Amino acid sequence: MIDAHCHLTYPGLRELLPDVLDNAVTVLNGIVTSAFPFAREKRPGFEDAFEALSLSQKYPAFVFVTLGLHPVQVADMDDEEIELYKELVYQHANRIVGIGEIGLDRFWVKSEEEYARTRRVFLEMLEVAEKIGKPVVVHSRKAEEEVVDILTSFSLEENVLMHSFTGNMTTAKKALDMGFYFSVNYKVRDTKNMRKIARSFPLEHILTETDAPFLSPHGGVNTPLSVKVVIEEIASLRGSQPEEIDKITTENAIKFYRIAQQGVTHGGSFQKNTRSE
């Protein structure tokens, strides 16, 4: 099992480390953590990004890092900070497995002026991804059609992961036709279009994620261990065995993030993994 997208260094989950990771290495095959420039409160120095990179050194071949500019955080950063963060990404390109999460958000970003700026930064980060040859993890809340349209103008093809996609099925099928992947989380239990994706899209284009510390199946702080619950839900929807879903989605994550060469060997079989939180 691989949690293909979470936020290990975000407040709530951060305070539970390293206990969560010490448990996770016995259960999971890997965790991909998406670092923000800063966590809940803005501080100088991009501490969230550096903390995530440190975790990947402490847990080699188990914790993997993506770096991006979340559209909601872009509104809190000036242009100089944006440029400094892009430089940080370039400097640490060999230590990350992807760019993300990046994208657009019409749920939280209400101002058209701010939205236009986040759109510009999204385009800039896609250019960064192309230059350093990394896949992208895409946030598209309430802006799915525009995000997919933008992605068509880049040569990313099978290097796009639509994180927590809940848009309409026409847009989802367009993204699938372009070779994009979809990461399914616990929203699959109550979000119609995510359920359709989990049930009917080719399993070879589906990854599993928790988005921890958010979206806990049991309330409170979510952890990467609950990716097991997501796998079980997908198996139920498809009339498959969890072991089959686990095997294929894990292979998909290894392929998408190109982490096979790093020797992902942690964890055990699905049947042995009984913990979900």
What is the pLDDT confidence band of residue 146, given thresholds at 50, 70 and 90?
A: very high
- What are the backbone dihedrals phi and psi of residue 91, each rounded to the nearest 5 degrees, phi first? -65, -30
Q: Is the separation of the CB atoms in 202 and 175 below 8 Å?
A: no
CA distance 183 to 252: 10
78 is in an annotated binding site: no
What is the pLDDT confidence band of residue 45, given thresholds at 50, 70 and 90?
A: confident
Q: Is the separation of the CB atoms in 101 and 133 below 8 Å?
A: no
> For position 112, which CATH number holds?
3.20.20.140
Mean pLDDT of 53-60: 96
101 is in an annotated binding site: yes
- Is 70 among the domain residues? yes
266 is in an annotated binding site: no
Mean pLDDT is lowest, of 44-58, 197-211, 219-233, 253-267, for 253-267
Which structure tokens are listed for 221? Answer: 């702080």
What is the pLDDT confidence band of residue 263, given thresholds at 50, 70 and 90?
A: low
- Is 180 among the domain residues? yes
| H-helix or E-strand spanning residue 33 | strand 30-35
CA distance 114 to 117: 5
| Cα–Cα distance list, 213 to 15, 16, 21, 158 (Å) | 11, 10, 13, 27
- Is 183 among the domain residues? yes
Domain that holds residue 7: 2-272
CA distance 213 to 138: 18
- What are the backbone dihedrals phi and psi of residue 18, each rounded to the nearest 5 degrees, phi first? -90, 0
Q: Residue 190 in 3-state DSSP?
A: coil
> What's the structural domain count of the chain?
1
- Is 277 among the domain residues? no
- Is 181 among the domain residues? yes
At 197-241, the pLDDT tens digits run 999 999 999 999 999 999 999 899 999 999 999 999 999 999 999
70 is in an annotated binding site: no
Which residues have C-beta within 8 Å of that of residue 113, sequence separation ≥ 6? none
CA distance 131 to 125: 10
| pTM, two decimal places | 0.94
pLDDT value, residue 40? 72
Measured from the Cβ of residue 204, the count of other Cβ atoms closer than 10 Å reads: 11
At 168-191, the pLDDT tens digits run 999 999 999 999 999 999 999 999
Give first-to-last CA distance, the chain, whole Å.
14
